[in-house]
Amino acid sequence: MKFSRQIKHFILTGALNTVFGYLVYAGGVVVFDLSYFRAVVASYVIGVSFSYATFRTFVFTAGDRGWRSYPRFILTYIFLFAVNVIALYALVDLMGYNKLLAQALVVPGCAALSFIINQLFVFRRKKDK
């Protein structure tokens, strides 16, 4: 089943993207002595571009795979970043959850939302005429 294969590839590619982004962050802090804020910005900018390339190569192999879809991908990740921050605020500041536990609870929902938005908006298939 193609959809099942796509979800498996999304999970594997997402794990690879997460490791890559963390390595960029760690490299910024350790190698380039960046503040954590600058390192996370660099990790986000470089990581999102890496994620786009891996998603369009390994996950969303049909639909709009050209670079025209890149701005939609960026908008998606700005939106997901905002959802993540709002959810963390609600869980940590309003409900008193531990910061690490809160992020662990938010990540699966953001990942599922990411899959849906990428499927329907970023790498959408052109409608048959």
Q: How confident is the model at residue 129 (pLDDT cuts 50, 70, 90)?
A: very low
Q: What pLDDT, in 10s, does the model give residues 87-124?
A: 888 998 899 998 888 888 888 898 899 999 998 999 88
pTM of the predicted structure, to 2 decimals: 0.76
Residue 128 confidence (pLDDT): 41
What SS3 state is found at 24?
helix
Domain ranges of the chain: 2-122
First to last CA, the chain: 25
Q: How confident is the model at residue 3 (pLDDT cuts 50, 70, 90)?
A: low
Q: What pLDDT, in 10s, does the model give residues 28-83?
A: 889 999 887 788 788 888 989 999 999 988 998 877 667 788 999 999 999 988 89
